[in-house]
Structure formats: C-alpha cells, structure tokens
Amino acid sequence: MVINMIIQLLTISILIITGYTDIKYKRISNKVLFLFGTAAIVLFIGRCYFREMEMIKEMLWGLLPGISALLIGKITKENIGFGDGYLLLILGVLLGAKRIIGIFMIALFLMSILSILLLMIRRVNKQTELPFIPAILIAYVVQLIAG
C-alpha cells in the first residue's frame, strides 16, 4: 500500500515537472529523466523482491508505449520527441503495461481532439508542435479518478 502511494507521488512529480518544461521550453531535461528513471528502477527492483516474477512480464510489456514512441520519433525525425518516449518508458516501469497503455491511449485521444479544435479555430497549423506530457498528466489523473 505504501509503495503504491510512493509510485503515485513519483508519477505525479515526474509529470508536473516534465509537463512544465515541455510547455515552457519544448524540451525535457535528460537529468530529470535520469533521476526519475533511476528511482523507477529502484522501486521496480523493490517490488520484484516482494512479489512473484509476474512483475517482470508486466514491466516488460509496460515498455511498449515508450519503445513505440521512440521508434515513431526516430522514423518521423522527432514528430514525437525522444523525451516523450523516454518518459513513457519510465512510466511503463512504474505503472506496468495495463495502466501505461491506457494512459497512452487517453493522452493520444486528448491530443487528437485538442489538435482538431486548434486547427478548426486556426490557432495552429499542421507544423505547430504541441506539448504531449500535459496530456499524459491529464490521462493519468483521469485513470486515478476512474480507478
């Protein structure tokens, strides 16, 4: 129970800090990602120590959205930023496959709706870069509330 609260606090912290820098600077600090990534790995090792090996499978599947985002970023020359992909990898380790895939899908849906609305009212064009991490934060909060 305590470990889940630590994971929730860490996740919210990651998303608020990286979301702010994503909006303000359109960048995500590698130092911040490294710090939170290290914490995620330590928590994962601790969880594996107290639980069965099923956790390893869950974590490995949880890496899928991050790996997908990194591949898409590589193919499209960073239409999806590498920072977003690395953050999704960290969240996959922290939250596991079911939760991160749900969060990723909700965030993509939110960004699609936002993009369409902004294009319709002519606030952006097709080349405008929009920060993705705030959508991940909203999706995470929605998932927390929904249970």
pLDDT given for residue 52 in this prediction = 60
Q: Which domain holds residue 112?
A: 2-146
45: pLDDT confidence band, cut at 50, 70 and 90?
confident
Average pLDDT over all residues of the chain:
91
28: pLDDT confidence band, cut at 50, 70 and 90?
very high
> How far is it, in rounded angstroms, from Cα 138 to Cα 144?
10
Task: Using CA atoms of 20, 105, 55, 142 in order, give the dihedral in degrees to the nearest 10.
Answer: 60
More confidently predicted of 14 and 59: 14
Q: Crossing angle of helices 82-95/64-75, nearest 10°?
A: 170
pLDDT given for residue 29 in this prediction = 92
Residue 40, pLDDT above cutoff 70: yes
Q: Where are the alpha helices (DSSP H) in 1-147?
A: 2-25, 30-50, 54-62, 64-75, 82-95, 97-120, 133-146
Residue 17, pLDDT above cutoff 80: yes
Residue-wise pLDDT tens digits, 89-138? 999 999 999 999 999 999 999 999 999 999 999 999 988 999 999 999 99
Residue 4, pLDDT above cutoff 90: no
pTM of the model: 0.90
- Please give the tally of structural domains in the chain: 1
Q: What is the mean pLDDT of residues 33-42?
A: 93
pLDDT given for residue 146 in this prediction = 93
